[in-house]
Amino acid sequence: MRSSIWSYALMASSCLAQGDLGTLLASQPDLSTLLELVGLVEGLAGTLSAASNITIFAPTNDAFAKVPRDIPEGEAIERRNDTIAIGALLANHVFKGVYPSNGITDIPTFAQTLLDDSYLSAEQPFSNFTGGAYNGLVKNGKDVCVLSGEQTISTVTQADITLGAGITIHKIDTVLSFGAPFQLFTYRAGYRAMNAALEAASLNFAFGETGDGVSGLNISDYTIFVPTDEAFKSIGSVLQSANQTTLQEVLKYHIIPNNVIFSPSLGNVTVKSLQGTELTFTVLPDGSAWVNNAKITFPNTILYNGVAHVIDNVLAPAPFDRSSLKPSAPASERLAFPSATRVEQLPFTSVSFAFDAGSYTTTPVLLQTIAAAAPRPANATTTTTPPAASEMPAPYMGAAGMGFVVPGVWLSLGFLVGAVAVLL
């Protein structure tokens, strides 16, 4: 960390101290690994009490022990030798805002953390969101859970340890994971048709891939809709006759640039796609969420630099009339390309990340059953444009009303300096 920032942080700590966080962690035997990792970042011990309006999800010793040692952060935990990876890992566990356990519901809340693109590693990207990486908070029965990348679910084992008025700590049983680059996600999750279609289309976007041999513009802060392989096969005849330009237009219609939209923030709204034609969203009284004539079947996969929603149909770039939606009809009767016929072999097969050995063999039940959105009254007012996730107001306030109005300006300068010092 730059010495100048440390100097500002140390000055801020004298007036911002809420209590001795280091002493608190040291008093918890099952957080000794966390305390040791924090201590590896030079000068960090002197600023532990300088933060305010944050929630720390503290992995227990057992949680750290479970991190695979063949990934950069696992190796860093084992060898205590990579302060960049350790810093990124810890930053991903500090949420901007105070989130007490009694405020978490069965509709997920997505909050930003201190993990930003200043953490750079030659081995892997960590995150690239404006304002910090996202993780989700949701109630699962009586448990409070944290949703992070790579389909990871962490359960709070001890909640609401407070330090002063502005720091809340929850112990968790699993270390939070970084979001994967989009094409790695599609390969591991089995959405190979979308992966191959993007390869064939050559949109000139890298979607978060880094390293030698990667070409294309790396975009961030996007929302992308992922048709299943079955959805692509259902319009296979159209794809077989489509040229590359047509394929590009169709795929760009599945992307919303510069807007991270998690499904709980959706309503009956429209928003412009990367292709230029608007997408029409519908939230029904049962809480199901739709984009045009496609149902969001698996929402809110947190990526390295965006969010992905799986849908049961391929979207066609054309205006959509919400009144024509027939939610009770099967996907095969809601095709956006009504003249299409099904094929078993798609015209594109070359996929990105084919060398990767990872896969999501068992998707957690919570992720399969979680509500896409809050149930919407049938007579709810229709609006025109959804707010970006980065513009959504924070649900909780911190000490003395100094909570953040929007995540991008979540603290006054003095508080921000102190909070950033906690994990950088």
Same domain, yes or no: 195 and 157: no
Note the pLDDT of residue 418.
34
Same domain, yes or no: 234 and 372: yes
Cβ-count burial 97-116 (b if 16+ within 10 Å, e if not) = bbbebeebeebbbbbbbbbb
Q: Residue-wise pLDDT tens for the chain (424 aa)?
A: 333 333 333 333 333 334 477 888 899 999 999 999 988 876 555 444 566 788 999 999 999 999 999 888 899 999 998 888 998 999 999 999 999 999 999 999 999 999 988 888 777 779 999 999 999 999 999 999 999 999 999 999 999 999 877 889 999 999 999 999 999 999 999 999 999 999 999 887 766 556 556 555 667 899 999 999 999 999 999 999 999 999 999 999 999 999 999 999 999 999 999 999 999 999 999 999 999 999 999 999 999 999 999 999 999 999 999 999 999 999 999 999 999 999 999 999 999 888 888 888 789 999 999 989 988 766 665 555 555 554 443 444 332 222 222 222 222 223 333 333 333 3
Same domain, yes or no: 237 and 175: no
pLDDT digit string, tens, across residues 52-75: 788 999 999 999 999 999 888 899
Same domain, yes or no: 252 and 172: no
Burial of 364 (0-12, 13-18, 19+ CB in 10 A): middle
Same domain, yes or no: 138 and 105: yes
Note the pLDDT of residue 396.
40
Total count of domains within the chain: 2
Same domain, yes or no: 255 and 356: yes
**Tokens 């709070």 label which residue?**
156
Burial of 210 (0-12, 13-18, 19+ CB in 10 A): middle
Same domain, yes or no: 224 and 89: no
Burial of 318 (0-12, 13-18, 19+ CB in 10 A): exposed
The residue segments making up the domain with residue 323 are 182-384
Same domain, yes or no: 160 and 280: no
Note the pLDDT of residue 393.
39
CA proximity to 175, closest of 78, 85, 72, 62: 62
Same domain, yes or no: 149 and 26: yes
Q: Which pairing describes strands 255-256 and 222-227: parallel, antiparallel, or unpaired?
A: antiparallel
* Residues in contact with 361: Cβ distance below 8 Å, sequence separation at least 6, in sequence order: none
We report the CATH number of the domain holding residue 276 as: 2.30.180.10
- How far is Cα 368 from Cα 204, in angstroms, rounded to an integer? 32
CB of 136 within 8 A of CB of 110? yes
What helix, strand, coil percent values describe the chain, rounded to 5? 30, 20, 50
Same domain, yes or no: 157 and 125: yes
Question: What token pair was written down for 88?
Answer: 């990124």
Same domain, yes or no: 224 and 161: no
Same domain, yes or no: 33 and 122: yes
